[in-house]
Chain A
Amino acid sequence: MNDGRLRSAGEIAFANHERSAFAAEASRQEIQRQLSIMRPTPPALSPKDLQLRGPILNADYGELLAKLDSKVRDSRIDFDGHKVMKHGEDGVHTLFSLELDARLEPIFGTNTDFTSFESVARPVLQAGAEDAITAPRRTMADEVAGTAQCLDKIRSVVSFLGFWKFGKGQPTAVRKCLAFYNEFVRLIFLQSICTWVSDDWRLSHRFFCSGSAGVKANCFESCCLSMLKGRHFRVILRDALSSIVLWLVGETSELPNPRSLYAEWSGKRCISPEEVLLSRSVVEAYLLGKSGWEAWDYIGTSCSSEPPDELIRGTWERDLKRRFPKVALFWSDTQQYFLESVLGHPGIFKKQSEKHRTFIEQKIEALRQCVSGIAALTLSENLPPDAIRARFRDFILCSGEAKPDIDELIRSKLVAAFPGGVFQVEIETL
């Protein structure tokens, strides 16, 4: 600017004027830019305006299902007492061997109680496992701006459910502790069944009639199905969550087989059951609108192990986005109904992500219960009375022999209720 010569007062005044004109223009542009950011692109909508697809149900569906549930509640499941006790006693031996195995880890002492989360978490934390959690901490900038609050929740470990997050720091200790605790919970559940059965090892309970799901339903599925007396079969509603979400978003692409999907992602030929579970969890996380560290948390909790790095890099997410583009659109569209005005300003909104997610997940859960109810009603129409012994959210337990075409019948009923939906119904003889 200054070429070494002295400038006249006029030149200096002109330069100052030019500079202030530039500053005014830059300031005006910045204000416009900020206003355009603050201006909400979507209109202000309420969750009440959100119209999601619903199933086509008969008018008396609720009444029929309530009657069926009441009948299932009164029916009794026959257990083989000898098998139950044998399984329990063997389980206790296994539990003690798992405990001894875990106690060999140098971080645990003889005082460690492997049934208590606090007792186990203390030595693991002292060994520095928290620092090794893959999910990052919130940065100082995040804390000042009040953003990325979900990272705190994702990093927190408050029970054995999230204990896998310490797996990067103490892989062997965490694996052994979780193996022990899972076996312990299974035995506690089995012991609870022993306290409820009658003298002739028959059991009726509301747990078996309300579309139950979760840890207890998994315990029943994993350990009790092999202890039933007499001939039984179960109708499995495979990948019901994925089918429901794809139907809800109007996606017509068929759900890929988790095994082949994982083979495609990893390039492997031999796929283990754990990898199938991982693949299924990845798809579910995507369909539930989770990405990044939220997906990492969901998948890790489903599989009780650290998800692979490919997930963090987003390789699989990109593939799923390509396969099911409507899912991402659905989540972004429905987000517009969950915006909150900031500081009472009519033009500035903040996303209510948690509320949005809860609303959609509740809707999905209701639809899954509906799938279970329709399948159970179809079975009750086509099987002898009292054949249905238990109705869970993801499978229905029946006594006797399965009809050869019952799965097709259930599928057709489900498609009638959910037009355009693709459902997988499997029959498993026990």
Chain B
Amino acid sequence: MSEPSEEELRRRRVAVAFLEDEDWRKRNRSGAPSKKRDAAESKKVVNPTPLPPSHVSHAQHVVIAVRNLTIGDRQLFNGQEIPPDLFSPSEIDRRLDCGDLAPCKTRRSLFRLLHKFSKCSESDYSEEHRQYRL
């Protein structure tokens, strides 16, 4: 049996990729890849698969409630800061996706600023700490 030609090998690689990559198959079902079609399809995605919690960092900003919520025996009001240790990161992500919570980059966390009294594991410092310290 003669060895496959270069053209044959290329066709086989494409076929394997075709079978393995469903997404590639979708994108190439009508021939060559199109940037316009890619952009159109990415806009259609309404609920993307949530990223693993490790990809999201809430250390730098405050998470606030954007509506009045009752979680267990705790009531959270619109605009109220969520204690950093109240929810697990995955729970925060889920609620962020649901629209119950929202990150707020313009506010400083009172829990972190007053970490000694709020029992927050994270801490933050502000100008007031420098101004009103002993």
Contacts and interface: CB of A to CB of B under 8 A. Distances in A.
Interface of A: 85, 88-89, 91-92, 95-96, 99-100, 103, 109-113, 115-116, 119, 184-185, 187-196, 205, 207, 215-216, 219
B116 A88 contact: yes
Main secondary structure of the interface of B (DSSP, over half): loop
A188 B128 contact: yes
Of A89, A109, A110, A112, chain B has the most CB atoms within 10 Å of the CB of A110
Contact of B132 (A99, A103, A189): A189
Nearest to B66: A110
Given A119-B106, A219-B132, A110 B117 contact: no
A192 B104 contact: no
B132 A95 contact: no
B133 A89 contact: no
Contact of A110 (B79, B108, B110, B129): B79
A113 B117 contact: no
Given A113-B108, A119-B106, A188 B114 contact: yes
Contact of B128 (A88, A115, A194): A115
Nearest to B117: A88
A190 B80 CA distance: 24
15 contacts: A89-B118, A92-B110, A99-B110, A100-B80, A103-B80, A110-B66, A110-B104, A111-B107, A115-B126, A115-B128, A187-B117, A188-B128, A196-B134, A205-B134, A207-B134
B133 A92 contact: no
B116 A191 contact: yes
Given A111-B107, A192-B134, A103 B79 contact: yes
B77 A115 contact: no
B28 interface: no
A390 to B, nearest CB: 12
B77 to A, nearest CB: 6
B92 interface: no
B133 A192 contact: yes
